[in-house]
Chains A and B, each alone.
Chain A
Amino acid sequence: MRLEYFEMIDRVDLFDAERGHIETTSVVPAADESPVFEGHFPSYPIVPGVLLLETMNHNAGWLIMGLNKRTRMPFFVGSRKLKVRKFVTPGQILKGQADLVHEGSGFAVTRGQLRIGNDLIAEAEMTMMIMDFPSARFKAELEARALKIGMVTAVGA
């Protein structure tokens, strides 16, 4: 993870189009590797809850882009049933997953979870608006990221 760059997912471990399911890994940086921990908090570094939601949101986004073959971009527009159950500290490894709950016209609803080992850390239901890519450059940046985290390998080019 590079929290300050909103690079929340390090690796796609599994993508299953038939089940509408994705699994990922995110390694939380060391305390001295991210300025986020300089403020949150200087003497007690923990990942902000909003960034855990953001991580689940990215999992949902990659799931949807895997399902639509990266032809359109999901944008987060809302969440329900958000729960952050435990603190996440520097160096921990988050295992994420997202499942498609409903594919609507121009939107999708997903359910996400983050775990550390067997512990459920956070969960939420997220609604994403699915839109055209705002620019070719944006799409290229996203393709580069997809390649880096193994999304292209998981889904296919």
Chain B
Amino acid sequence: MSSTFEVVAKVISETSEIPLEQITPESHTIDDLGIDSLDFLDIVFALDKKFGIKIPLEAWTEEVNQGRASVDDYFILKNLCARIDELVAAKTA
């Protein structure tokens, strides 16, 4: 079974045409991978479908805008994967 990171990396690679080997758990989707907000929507769409979840993009954006979270909390891949694991766990709980 693939890890969350492997699935996310594959989705990013396929959606944004970034070579898989360039994507690491430490990669920042904006600063390192150059993914813009519209590409990120496509990625979220694919991840929602893959994991059967609804990534709360609006709530995350609000948290960042209000200073209650940093961009890194969601856009560094290892952190994004941890959030996804939480959402999957909440769904199956």
Chain A residues at the B interface, C-beta cutoff of 8 Å: 77-78, 102-107, 109, 127, 129
Contact = CB atoms under 8 A, between A and B. Distances in A.
Given A104-B54, A106-B57, A127 B49 contact: no
Contacts, number: 35
B23 interface: no
Contact of A105 (B38, B42, B49, B56): B56
B59 interface: yes
A104 B44 contact: yes
Interface residues of B, number: 14
Contact of B57 (A102, A107, A109, A127): A107
B61 to A, nearest CB: 7
A78 B45 CA distance: 13
B48 A104 contact: yes
B55 interface: yes
Contacts of A78: 38, 41-42
Closest 7 CB pairs of A and B: A106-B58, A105-B57, A105-B58, A105-B56, A106-B57, A107-B41, A109-B45
B41 A127 contact: yes
A15 to B, nearest CB: 23
Nearest to A107: B41
B61 A127 contact: no
Contacts of A102: 45, 48-49
Contacts of B55: 104-105
A129 B58 CA distance: 11
Interface string B32-57: 00000010011011001100001111
Contact of A77 (B41, B58, B59, B61): B41
8 contacts: A78-B42, A102-B49, A104-B45, A104-B55, A105-B59, A107-B45, A127-B41, A127-B45
Contacts of A109: 45
Given A102-B45, A106-B57, 8 more contacts: A78-B42, A104-B45, A104-B48, A104-B55, A105-B44, A105-B55, A107-B44, A129-B41
A23 B49 CA distance: 26
Nearest to B47: A104
Contacts of B38: 77-78
